[in-house]
Amino acid sequence: MTVTEPGFAGRTERLASPATIAMAVRARALRAQGHQVLSLALGEPDFATPPAVIEAAHRAALDGQTKYPPVDGTPALKAAIARKFARENGLTYAPAELMVSNGGKQVIFNAFMATIDAGDEIVIPAPYWVSYPLAARLFGGVPVFADCREEDGFRLSAAALEAAITPRTRWVVLNFPSNPTGAVMTLADLEAIADVLRRHPRIWILSDEIYEHLVFDGARHHSIAAVAPDLTSRVLTLNGVSKSYAMTGWRVGYAGGPERLIRMMTRVQGNATSGVCSISQAAAAAALDGPAELIAEMRDTYARRRTMVVEALRAIPGVTCAMPQGAFYAYPGIAACLGRTSRGGRMLTTDEDFALALLDEQHVACVHGSAFGKGPYLRLSCATDDETLREACARIAAFVDGLV
Ligand SMILES: Cc1ncc(COP(=O)(O)O)c(C=O)c1O
């Protein structure tokens, strides 16, 4: 008799573990061996959740907000989200056009599960946040990448978008300010993108605006649904409290979009996880209605660190670095470092070789750009303290200095 083991679905084979997590795991293993590892791999704010938000959660728990919440979000949080969209984005959403999910990540999962059939194409500007292509593939979708060039500040051009669209395109993803490059689209950029999308009326548009508050040097964030109101019946505007309010662990993301799409996404979520933790929802409502100064303080800190890191990187021979206008990442180019050998004897053929050797030899964890669809670059998260960032840049300089 043949002995076989229980197997796995084909879709989980396609669901590779993101490189960001893989790097963090490797860094943790080195730390466990007693090394002082500096981690610039994860996009997690180093600030604490504002105390007033934590108090609101405490009050909600004591008040008995401990029962199953509605699948699409509590009325109180949805009202706070509607106020936020009106105040900050110039967007008007009725309660039936809003839903709350377990982080922005579940918004994407719900939306793709509700709309993608096998073979549908999802246009994603590259470099991209790793979860978009992974989620698309999970449902049989085919990611198609639109190249964002360094010379354009990694912004998406109308020409690159147009070239990526085919009759099979189901979604176009926009993520500005961008993870991983920090690129911010100007009003004129978005108007040109809207012109392209108008010519393709059967395409859904996902605008992931989770980094909207983190824009620097006077740059302004614009929502595509506000720039092109005629497209709103196809736009899903995604946001969340993770990045703007240092609330990654609370797991609250949300979206505004056309009622029929929100209804189908709610159906997906109702069959998977139901409503988001009632206490987290009370906390998120307090965050959204809270003082804007807290966000401004964090933004100014990220801006200062970004300048410090970019200047330190630019001083390293063989490393280039665009000045990001948003988010909290730097995306240095390392083309001139490839084809060389590290002090530890490692031949660096790809940016992944560079990132792995840097971790093993200098104990600095970052993620190679090709994991985000564009190499040879590195993504360094600036969401950590000044001292760590300064020391990490010094170690990168020492690593590059040792290349022969
Ligand atoms: C571009 C982007 N969108 C969405 C998210 C989702 O964040 P969360 O699920 O914590 O809301 C992240 C997190 O890293 C992100 O970088």
Determine which of 26-30, 133-137, 309-313, 383-387 has the lowest per-residue pLDDT on average.
26-30
Predicted confidence (pLDDT) at residue 13 exceeds the cutoff of 80: no
Assess contact for 271 and 110: CB atoms under 8 A. Answer: no
3-state percent helix, strand, coil for the chain, nearest multiple of 5: 45, 15, 40
Assess contact for 44 and 328: CB atoms under 8 A. Answer: no
Assess contact for 187 and 293: CB atoms under 8 A. Answer: no
Please work out whether the CB of residue 69 comes within 6 Å of at least one atom of ligand 1: no
Please work out whether the CB of residue 20 comes within 6 Å of at least one atom of ligand 1: no
Res 46: pLDDT: 85
Please work out whether the CB of residue 175 comes within 6 Å of at least one atom of ligand 1: yes
Strand runs labelled E in 261-346: 329-330, 340-341
Mutate to test the pocket of ligand 1, among 110, 210, 288 (most ligand atoms within 8 A of CB): 210
Predicted confidence (pLDDT) at residue 1 exceeds the cutoff of 70: no
Res 246: pLDDT: 92
CA of 104 to the centre of ligand 1 (A): 5
Res 3: pLDDT: 64
Res 8: pLDDT: 86
Write the pLDDT tens digit of every residue in 256-285.
999 999 999 999 999 999 999 999 999 999
- 100 forms bridges with which residues in the sheet? 254
Mutate to test the pocket of ligand 1, among 105, 154, 185 (most ligand atoms within 8 A of CB): 105
Exposure class string for 39-59: b at 16+ Cβ within 10 A, else e: bbbbbbbeeebbeebeebbee
Predicted confidence (pLDDT) at residue 125 exceeds the cutoff of 90: yes
CA of 338 to the centre of ligand 1 (A): 31
Please work out whether the CB of residue 43 comes within 6 Å of at least one atom of ligand 1: yes
Please work out whether the CB of residue 253 comes within 6 Å of at least one atom of ligand 1: yes
Q: Which residues are within 8 A (CB) of 92 and not within 5 positions of it... i.e. 6 or more apart?
A: 82, 85, 86
Tokens of 197: 């999308």
Assess contact for 312 and 400: CB atoms under 8 A. Answer: no
Res 19: pLDDT: 74
Instruction: For each of the domains in the chain, give its residue range(s) and CATH number, in order of start.
Output: 10-48+294-401 (3.90.1150.10), 51-289 (3.40.640.10)
Res 374: pLDDT: 96
Please work out whether the CB of residue 189 comes within 6 Å of at least one atom of ligand 1: no
Question: How far is the C-alpha of 231 from the C-alpha of 359, rounded, in Å?
Answer: 45
How many CB atoms within 10 Å of residue 393? 25
Question: How far is the C-alpha of 37 from the C-alpha of 364, rounded, in Å?
Answer: 6
Residue whose CA lies nearest to ligand 1 atom number 13: 43
Write the pLDDT tens digit of every residue in 131-170.
999 999 999 999 999 999 999 999 999 999 999 999 999 9
Mean pLDDT of the residues in the chain = 95
